[in-house]
Amino acid sequence: MQRGGTRISEARSAPEAARSVRPEGTIDAFISDVVAAEIARQMRLSVATSRSPALVAAVQRVMSRHGITDPHRLRDRIAADDALREEVLDEVTVRETHFFRDSKQFELLRHTILPHLCRPRASAPARIWSAGCASGEEPYSLAILCAEDGHSVRISASDISMKALAEAAEAEYGEWSFREMGEYLKRRYFLQRGDRYRLRPDVARSVRFTQVNLGFDRLPAPDRGLAGFDLILCRNVLVYLDAADLMRVAEELFTCLAEGGWLLTAPTDPPLWRYASFQTATTGAGLVYRKPMHVAREAGYEARYSKEARR
């Protein structure tokens, strides 16, 4: 008798099947999604269900490197060993990024959003946050754009990974990071040393880095300067979060914006409009979210803005 192409007499449980195909001399333990999820919880790492196989594979690689055969032992060691925690984090997270990633979004930033935020008579520099900045190319792209166009801004950037933040603070990059950035800006803002390029220190200094775990830390955090932003970029990060955390983070990002502030996510990120009271616009660069102005202020602002525009 056959069911789904397998003879019932030959059918085995999933763990049995996994044990039988495991090569000799490697890890004994069978790592289930459940144990891997426990490890992620121990690390306070939010992982989307779709990333479960990647999490299991990452845990497996770290166990193999350290000769750990019981995943529960890895979980317990992570609690007391920050370096091991960072190592697992590094295996699980995707840190792919580059300068001016998604040129359409940078066009929108350059020609619409930044000129609006940095109007000549603005009373203070615009405040920008790159949340999930990886090795720094995203906030530094903003810093370069603002230097180029003479905008006065304060840029914060954060990531869960200390390793990524250390690389970002170094501000030195290889050729691959420049694949979407023109030669003109590269020559103007980077100093070449062999096959590496170091960002000009005056521009690098305009970005402040800090560690934030979006899946765990509570936001806004005014004491850490994480509140009242005019613009937040949170691109290619939300797609990795567990569904419950995604809803909470959407609300927290909304609360971290100043009235009238803007939020950009990546075109491949999940839509956020259903989780917080954003004004959402569909543009050629994907969805753009704004925190509405108070109605009275919106009217006042519009009047002032059109008066300025008429001058």
Ligand X SMILES: C[S@@+](CC[C@H](N)C(=O)[O-])C[C@H]1O[C@@H](n2cnc3c(N)ncnc32)[C@H](O)[C@@H]1O
Question: Which residues would be at the binding site for ligand X (CB under 6 A)?
Answer: 46, 93-97, 101, 132-134, 138, 159-161, 164, 212-215, 235-237, 240, 266
Min dist CB 294 to ligand X, Å, is: 30
CB atoms within 10 A of CB 182: 12
Min dist CB 131 to ligand X, Å, is: 7
Min dist CB 69 to ligand X, Å, is: 28
Min dist CB 212 to ligand X, Å, is: 6
Min dist CB 182 to ligand X, Å, is: 18
Show the CA angle centred on residue 26, arms to residues 21 and 32, nearest 5°: 65
Residue tagged 């003479």 (tokens): 150
Q: What distance in Å separates the CA atoms of residue 201 and residue 222, rounded to the nearest whole number?
A: 27
Min dist CB 8 to ligand X, Å, is: 43
Query: Please, which residue, 52 or 213, has the CB nearer to ligand X?
Result: 213
Output the CA torsion 128→132→135→136 (10° steps). Answer: -10
Q: What single-letter DSSP state applies at residue 173? A: E
CA atoms within 13 Å, Cβ hemisphere of 281: 12
**Do residues 198 and 190 make contact, with C-beta atoms less than 8 angstroms apart?**
yes
Min dist CB 258 to ligand X, Å, is: 21
Query: Please, which residue, 106 or 278, has the CB nearer to ligand X?
Result: 106
* CA-based nearest residue to 245, from 253, 236, 257: 253
Q: Residue 223 has which token pair? A: 């004491």
Query: Please, which residue, 97 or 206, has the CB nearer to ligand X?
Result: 97
Min dist CB 89 to ligand X, Å, is: 7
Q: What distance in Å separates the CA atoms of residue 21 and residue 24, rounded to the nearest whole number?
A: 9
Query: Please, which residue, 57 or 94, has the CB nearer to ligand X?
Result: 94
Strands 229-233, 257-264: pairing is parallel
Q: What distance in Å separates the CA atoms of residue 294 and residue 144, rounded to the nearest whole number?
A: 32
Cis amide leading into 220 (omega within 30) = yes
Q: Where are the alpha helices (DSSP H) in the chain?
A: 14-21, 33-42, 52-66, 71-80, 82-92, 103-108, 114-117, 137-149, 162-170, 183-189, 201-204, 243-256, 295-310
